[in-house]
Structure 1
Amino acid sequence: MTAAAEDQVVPGLYDISAELYHQDPIPGGSLSSTGIRRITDCPARFKYLLDHPEPYKPEFEFGTAAHTVILGNGPELVVVDAKRWDTDETKARVAAIRASGNVPLKPEARQRIDDMAEALARHPEASDLLTPGSGIAEQSAFWQDDNGIWHRARFDWLRPDDIVDYKTARSVHPDAVAKAVNEHGYHQQQAWYRRIAVELGLIPPSGAFKFVLQEKQPPYLVTVAELDFPAQVIGAELNDRALYTYAMCLSTGHWPAYSEGTTHISLPPWVERKYAQENS
């Protein structure tokens, strides 16, 4: 896909830059996994962020760099070996690196990412899933549903029979992973990506989706996770509801907030249970 061909997009898999993908090359716009999760949370917030894109956040650079090293595809990583990053000279150099589409890293950050890659290579299942040549990295997919809504996804690692999504995390303890899935909507991301991949014939309907999660601090523990059936069903249903909401908002021009009247708030159930136990 090129800028000149943006008005002739057809459903399929494209090897395009992350920048072009995030700019959304579909005329009239398309929905991403992030977008569908934002609509699920609040249509008004989704519309605001659509009209006012979030500014660049340097804190995302470590994750981007880790993806580049682990998956073998991404922007160039440039080590900036300066004692201080707050001098005018260093700030100008860092800004120039970012402006060219590359990622500046402190030496210790680059070493940490290399150590993470070595730790992941020692994990039997994760290293097997991400074996060079077993899949293709950072591919963008576009698909249009029967209602004319374009869906888009950018796969970390697309294999013939499954999708692998790599994420860095503070903790890969199963309880922490479950919390992250719920908090960040990974179950919706999985359902969104799988549907696009299946509809485009990129994976079979039985194709798996696996998360490879890795801690960002030594010893850089790794967990390979699959969502259970209820989580998959809930993710797909939330996406269907959000698609309906999106279509309604487009047709009416009204993007509702959390509530448009007085909302009655209860304490969390555990607070009520604790109070009842202590005062019974």
Structure 2
Amino acid sequence: MCECDCHRAPERDVQPTLTDDVSAGQERRTGETRLGVYEDLDELVYHADPTSVSASGMKQILKSPAHFLHSRTHPQTSAALDLGTVAHSMVLGTGPGFVAVEGNRNRNDVKAAIAEAEAEGKVVLKPEQLAAAERMADAVFTHPKASRLLTSPGRSELSMFWRDPAYDVIRRCRWDRLGDDGIGVDLKTSRTSDPAALPKHIVEYGYDLSAAWYLDVAAGLGVDIAAYALVFVESTEPHPVVVAELSGDFLERGAALAGKALATYRRCLDTGTWPAYCDDDFLTIHPPRWADTAEFIANTIPEGTAA
């Protein structure tokens, strides 16, 4: 995001209207609909909401509805996800607790310590992972633009729930940071923050779909977003940080992907079928573009050799 006037958020007094969570923030009856903007919604409650879908879920839908359905009751985790979660928590000052556990994870005492921490809802890291998360957070805080975006007045981990009338689906999103100036920020811990590699990285991880999704949900709730900023911090040293915004073409692509995913999700709901990868009973598979063709193979057979 540049410093020119075209990307500066206008001065405004209007703040997003927060919805009172009448059940003291967390508990609801199963199937009860949550709509609106929530400032202090527990992260686990947000992700477990059974009545809504997120951008992450829609990315899965585009690959395989069956895998999306499975993931709703079998959430996955990984060392990379845990590292990103803790780095987010350090930067934003929110999220689940975390702890570093030393020792061989095959030992019973170490297993018991991990189980106890996880039962308390904490993310368990190895000491070297915790040190990496701390370095990543420091890199963000020492980057002038990133630090300003993430520490200026605003709200962190702001949850939004909006019923999309076009598909009769409740869509949710959770802003890493939404500044009082209307700038929304998405913090990404990634394997690269190289500007030359970021376009491919954005396509691979569907960050354009996420951006369009967040902007749609906010607009549906009447929340004015002045700009959408991505803050990339590399997960390996020296943890370079890059602040970026998506072009109009990227946002249009993201909106098209979101629309395709929602249409697929609606069809799966209506038919009760959740296919894996494709609907066809019989699939024809072609060689990849990089594979040698039959003609090339035939023409490169050495003379005097039986084919």
TM-score of Structure 1 vs Structure 2, range by shorter chain = 0.7 to 0.9
Match for 1:24 among 30, 49, 61? 49
Report if aligned partners of 1:11, 1:143 keep a CA contact under 8 Å in 2: yes
- Residue 241 (1) aligns with residue 260 (2): yes
For 1:85, give the aligned amino acid. R
- Aligned Cα root-mean-square deviation (Å): 2.5
Report the Cα offset of residue 79 of structure 1: 3.1
Report the Cα offset of residue 162 of structure 1: 2.1
Report the Cα offset of residue 142 of structure 1: 0.6
**Match of 2:94, SS?**
coil
Residues 267/100 of structure 1: CA separation in 2 closer, same or farther (3 Å cut): same
Report if aligned partners of 1:135, 1:158 keep a CA contact under 8 Å in 2: yes
Report if aligned partners of 1:167, 1:211 keep a CA contact under 8 Å in 2: yes
- Residue 91 (1) aligns with residue 111 (2): yes
Match for 1:181 among 202, 214, 220? 202
1:229 corresponds to: 248
1:192 corresponds to: 213
Task: Report how many residues are paired.
Answer: 268
1:220 corresponds to: 239
**Match of 2:104, SS?**
coil
Structure with bigger helix share is 1
**Match of 2:28, SS?**
helix
- Residue 105 (1) aligns with residue 125 (2): yes
Moved more, 91-100 or 153-162: 153-162
CA distance in 1, matches of 2:135, 2:77: 27
Residues 148-191 of structure 1 deviation map (CA, whole Å, 9 limit, x = unaligned)? 21101111112231211111112111232222211111110111
CA radius of gyration, larger in: 2
Which structure 2 residues correspond to residues 39-118 of structure 1 after superposition, within 5 A?
A: 39-50=61-72, 52-80=73-101, 82-118=102-138
Report the Cα offset of residue 116 of structure 1: 2.0
CA distance in 2, matches of 1:229, 1:171: 23
Instruction: Please give the TM-score of this superposition, normalised by the length of structure 2.
Output: 0.79
1:150 corresponds to: 170
Report if aligned partners of 2:103, 2:110 keep a CA contact under 8 Å in 1: no
Residues 198-241 of structure 1 deviation map (CA, whole Å, 9 limit, x = unaligned)? 2112224xx22111111122211001121111111011011112
**Match of 1:223, SS?**
strand
Give the unaligned 5+ runs of structure 1. Answer: none
2:150 corresponds to: 130
CA distance in 2, matches of 1:271, 1:176: 28
Residues 148/271 of structure 1: CA separation in 2 closer, same or farther (3 Å cut): same
CA distance in 1, matches of 2:35, 2:158: 13
Report the Cα offset of residue 105 of structure 1: 3.0
CA distance in 2, matches of 1:12, 1:20: 15
Report the Cα offset of residue 47 of structure 1: 2.9
Residues 195/115 of structure 1: CA separation in 2 closer, same or farther (3 Å cut): same
